Amino acid sequence: MTTAGTTAAGYDRLDRLWARGRAFLGTRTAVMGGAMSWVSERNLVSAISNAGGFGVLAGGSMPPELLEAEIAATRALTAQPFGVNLINMHPQLDRLIEVCARQGVGHVVIAGGFPSGATIRRIKDGGARAMAFAPTLVVGRRLVRQGIDALVIEGTEAGGHIGPVSTTVLAQEILPELREVPVFVAGGIGRGEAVVSYLEQGAAGVQIGTRFVCSTESIAHPRFKQAFIRASARDAQPSVQLDPRFPVIPVRALLNEASRRFAAFQRETIGKVDSGELTREAGLLEIEHYWAGALRRAVVDGDIENGSLMAGQSVGLVTREQPVAEIVAELIAQAEAALTRRDPSPAPVLGAA
């Protein structure tokens, strides 16, 4: 996939760098699409796979019947490999895994917690490769012992639910130490130069979400896309927790009226608990339910003030609406150019004397 401004040498080097990831995914590139609820559906997922990447359906809270229909609809749009992201805490997780097996899904990614050994075995017994997220080296090693086939490490720069450690630090902690399975890096990746840097540290590939939100194939509402295009990196902020007695799982999203009201809502709810008007349990539930349906309101309905605008810090690199194939080609061209600038000499031919 050599493009203008790059050389065959850059292409060959990139091909070798992500060879392990490409072989694992069965794709032309080792670029996974991040599974984003309400965004990563049949149209975007098939477009990423058709462009040489690896699309991943966001199973989210789908019931088994809906997931089965979405997998079938995606397969009707692409003959290329794609995966399914399932939430570990889903009450029907076992049935969802059965759906993936019945539909011949090749890769199942478990998010929202760490899969048990039994869950990993169930995925693999159904014919799929099992993937999971590892926030630390210790967790990564434990998942490997349990039989996981590949890992994703995602830093705090990512959109949606986030951990406390940056992508660059996670990569330095985990990539040199964990070689038994392919590891894909996610969080804050928006250009090909960053892709190359993680591949050179030992990553098998990368996962990218935010860059694909504003693709022409994405069904996200035009107002949602415009919010991304207008935003800078510093606009993507984690949600704030006011009181440790009332924990809030941090979510990175663009600041809007809803996120500003959230702090006031927490303050008001905590005041009701302290005055005895609400029990602590009732207060926790009200705070937890504040964002219920908020992502759908933004992505599907276009309510960008009262909905949740989940976005990674790479949102500052989203400057226009583009076809998925153009985004992928741009990332590859940047990666090849970076490798060529570093060493413009032709890559050695394997087996040459």
Which residues are CB-neighbours of 154 under 8 A, at least 6 positions away?
A: 133, 135, 162, 163, 167, 170, 185, 186, 187, 207
| Residue 114 and residue 260 in one domain | no
CA 189, chain centre distance (Å): 10
322 and 285 both lie in a single domain:
no
In a domain, 250, yes or no: yes
User: How long is the chain?
Assistant: 353
The answer on 52 and 191 residing in a single domain is yes
| Ordered DSSP codes for 239-254 | PP---TTS----EEEE
What is the pLDDT confidence band of residue 32, given thresholds at 50, 70 and 90? very high
Tens digit of pLDDT for each residue in 286-326? 998 898 899 999 999 999 999 999 999 999 999 999 999 99
226 in a structural domain: no
* Shared-domain flag, residues 87 and 113: yes
pLDDT number for residue 352: 45
pLDDT in tens, 256-293: 999 999 999 999 999 999 999 999 999 999 998 898 89
Distance CA 10, CA 190 (A): 19
Nearest to 87 by CA among 58, 56, 50: 58
Cα atoms in the Cβ-side hemisphere of radius 13 Å centred on 160:
18
User: Domain for residue 136, yes or no?
Assistant: yes
113 and 39 in a single domain? The answer is yes
pLDDT digits (tens, 9 = 90+) for 36-74: 999 999 999 999 999 999 999 999 989 999 999 999 999
Question: What's the CATH number where 107 sits?
Answer: 3.20.20.70
* The pTM of the whole model exceeds 0.75: yes
Residue with tokens 């990614």, as numbered in its chain: 109
Structural domain tally of the chain?
2
Domain match, 293 and 327 both:
no
Instruction: Mark whether 205 and 305 lie in a shared domain.
Output: no
Q: Whole-angstrom Cα distance, residue 210 to residue 34?
A: 8
Identify the pLDDT of residue 132.
Answer: 98
The verdict on 75 and 214 lying in the same domain is: yes
3-state secondary structure of 274: helix
Asked if 121 and 16 sit in the same domain, the reply is yes
Domain span at 254:
232-310
